[in-house]
Structure 1
Amino acid sequence: MPELDLGEIRTRIDNIDKELVKLLEERMIIVEDVIEYKAANNMKIFDAKREEEVIKKNIDRVKEKKLKKYIEKMLNDIMSVSKEYQETKIFKIKDNNFNADFKGKKMGYTGVPGSFGHEVLLNLVDEKHSEIKKYSTHEEVAEAVARGEIDYGVIPIENSSTGEVRDSIDLIKEKDIYIVGEISHKIKQNLLGVKGSRIENIKNVYSHEQALMQCSKFLKEHSDWNSIACSNTAIAAEFIKKEDNNENACIANIKTKNIYDLELLAEGINNNKENYTRFIIISKSMKISEKSNKISIVTTIEHKAGSLFKLIEIFSKENLNMVSIKSRPIPNKAWEYYFYIDFEGNLNDENVIRAFENIKVQMSYMKILGNYRSDIKI
């Protein structure tokens, strides 16, 4: 076997890298044509079927089987970067004079009648509104909005006592939809059982995981009970009604008492009496108005010291009040994070425009999730 020359090997790698950079740059330039086409035709950025086809087609071209899984990772990274680039370029406001009028619109919420989401939705439209659809999960609501099945959806995003609703915050980014409104709704949790049941009979308590956490002190006083998580508080109420077992109870909205003919066993059992959940109204397109005073974005930063400081400094220099910042793990990138940021402002404000220009230059990725009126009062 001939003696290896490390310098020669590195030169060969450098030459390959040179060609790779040239081809990747050419690919990104072509992606700009894709961006233009998608924007003109109101298309979603992410096409799962197309991405799967591209990756499979190129994996099949790999001759060395032992390298397939590594090249697949590279291809996935290329597709992720391409999507991020498209998201920074596609920014189109469909309605610049949004007035939060939902009359005649198709609306959706999570759960069944009696859920807090349903209650919030009925604050936007009257009970006779014919175009209301219910879904089992927040993801189903988001998907229905994304494909145009409904015009608007209402989902919870954060509770004042227990923090963010974990899946909701990621859905806005992943499903290519926008926040167009925000409602802060007071939550009062109650223990309900089937007709004739008594609190001393209870063995099982059903509710959404957030509701169980909001009532943790009350549940601790009944440590012999089994706490069982459901997808929604009202679905828990519907379930115990169908089971008709006096050992079962649920934690839910007081309205479920009459809807499902239940017995009130304990009222207002949440830990914090000033218990609020922030709900967001979601739409397929960006909609803003002069009254829009809150902006939500998601961004990533370089994985090195000082990067987060540089991001926060941009807001400070432009005198923009950051009201919330949360981190979420980036899939397939250990210990790297997306940062979700809420701040006060309007997309037409000069300081907001300057801040976005700086973020785009200094940060590796940014997407606007919405510019909306905070805490709509209806």
Structure 2
Amino acid sequence: MIGKTITYLGPEGSYSEIAAEKAAKILGYDNFKPMAQSSIIKVIETVDKHNEFIGVIPIENSIEGVVRETVDTLIKTTSRVTITQEIIIPISHCLISKSNNLSNIDKIISYTQGLAQCQNFISKNFDNIELLSAPSTSEAVKQLSDLPENYAAIGSYKAAEVYELNILARDINDEKDNLTRFVCLSSYLPKPTGNDKTSIAVSLCNQPGSLVNVLLAFKENNLNLSYIESRPSKKIFGEYTFFIDFDGHIEDDNVQKTIGKIAPFVNLYRFLGSYPKCSTRVKVMDKSQ
């Protein structure tokens, strides 16, 4: 299959681009058209406007947890946009700069999660360092082109290659088993495979036992919850929306029974997608190693 447009969190050299390339292989798109976006919100908005497009964005990191911008935006966007695939990518951060010398660096720029994932390396190698945030790790590396040599960025080896910059240190993340789960977004529902995951968002009615009753509905129908996260509803202070992942497909009988059972206890329900579970991580190789 050819000619599919895949939009992702850019710019070039991002981990999302790596995930997009892997998604294209999984989905059988031999010659896809890449379309980088400056933010997660813009990726989701683009998929919402173009039913034939596929979006690729990060949703969860094994160290830092859920990507809040992704979850919050998915919850409030239209029901046309759903998760259709998940891909797990190992994250190996590099310190990148115009400079060849680590001692020249007094400012480091990166995505907030990138900075958080490399705190041990930063504190060990720098006494007085200014940390600056960027919309993504690859955007941080791209910005180095217009910055002096005392700046460095935390990003992927691919970003260093794309922007022809020096790698001062490799594999600098504090936790070496650092994984990010990316999801593909589209406007179709994948068929059940027998090894699926479903994502939903719910806000609970303001009455005693609502959360317990929702959780019991999953237990009674033998559905395993693999992830649950509460997010502020951003409507009423103290009101929360729960993002839930569980095993099964929306077309499964026990899933349908569960959705019906929780209906009296929620005032918001958003189906976010049913899709094949990723059983293995994708191996990403640094060509220079």
Q: Distance in 1 between matches of 2:241 and 2:11?
A: 32
Amino acid at match of 2:94: N
Map Cα deviations across residues 161-196 of structure 1 (whole Å, 9 max, x no partner): 0111111012212222100011111000110111x4
Q: Distance in 2 between matches of 1:120 and 1:352?
A: 29
Matches within 5 A, 1:172-211: 172-176=74-78, 177-194=81-98, 196-211=99-114
Alpha-carbon offset, residue 357 of structure 1: 1.0
Q: Distance in 1 between matches of 2:194 and 2:85?
A: 11
Alpha-carbon offset, residue 338 of structure 1: 0.7
Q: Which has the higher helix share?
A: 1
Map Cα deviations across residues 317-353 of structure 1 (whole Å, 9 max, x no partner): 1110001111111122110111111000122222111
Gaps of 5+ in 1: 1-101
Is the 1:161–1:272 contact (alpha carbons within 8 Å) kept by the matching residues of 2? yes
Alpha-carbon offset, residue 200 of structure 1: 0.4
Please identify, of 156-165 and 142-151, the stretch whose mean Cα deviation from structure 2 is larger.
142-151
Map Cα deviations across residues 22-70 of structure 1 (whole Å, 9 max, x no partner): xxxxxxxxxxxxxxxxxxxxxxxxxxxxxxxxxxxxxxxxxxxxxxxxx
Alpha-carbon offset, residue 297 of structure 1: 0.6
Amino acid at match of 2:109: Y
Alpha-carbon offset, residue 292 of structure 1: 5.5
Q: Distance in 2 between matches of 1:325 and 1:128?
A: 35
- Equivalent residue in structure 1 for 2:54, among 144, 148, 152: 152
Is the 2:192–2:251 contact (alpha carbons within 8 Å) kept by the matching residues of 1? no
| Residue 226 (structure 1) aligns with | 130
| Residue 157 (structure 2) aligns with | 254
Q: Which has the higher strand share?
A: 2
Is the 2:84–2:273 contact (alpha carbons within 8 Å) kept by the matching residues of 1? yes
Alpha-carbon offset, residue 363 of structure 1: 2.4
> For 2:145, what is the secondary structure of its paired residue?
helix
Is the 2:97–2:166 contact (alpha carbons within 8 Å) kept by the matching residues of 1? yes
| Residue 138 (structure 1) aligns with | 40
Gaps of 5+ in 2: 283-289
- Among all aligned residue pairs of Structure 1 and Structure 2, give the percentage whose two residues are the same amino acid: 29
Alpha-carbon offset, residue 247 of structure 1: 0.3
> For 1:125, what is the secondary structure of its paired residue?
helix
1:309 aligns with 2:212: yes
Q: Distance in 1 between matches of 2:201 and 2:95?
A: 38
Q: Distance in 2 between matches of 1:274 and 1:342?
A: 22
Alpha-carbon offset, residue 150 of structure 1: 5.5
After TM superposition, where is structure 1 displaced by more than 6 Å over at least 4 residues in a row? none
> What TM-score results when the alignment is normalised by the length of structure 2?
0.90
Q: Larger C-alpha radius of gyration, 1 or 2? A: 1
Structure 1 pair 268–332 and aligned structure 2 pair: CA distance change class (3 A): same
Is the 1:211–1:233 contact (alpha carbons within 8 Å) kept by the matching residues of 2? yes
Please identify, of 327-336 and 122-131, the stretch whose mean Cα deviation from structure 2 is larger.
122-131
Q: How many residues align?
A: 275
| Residue 227 (structure 2) aligns with | 324
> For 1:191, what is the secondary structure of its paired residue?
strand
> What TM-score results when the alignment is normalised by the length of structure 1?
0.69
Task: Tell me: higher relative CO, structure 1 or 2? Use CA pairs within 8 A at least 6 residues apart.
Answer: 2
Alpha-carbon offset, residue 376 of structure 1: 6.7
Q: Distance in 2 between matches of 1:154 and 1:291?
A: 24
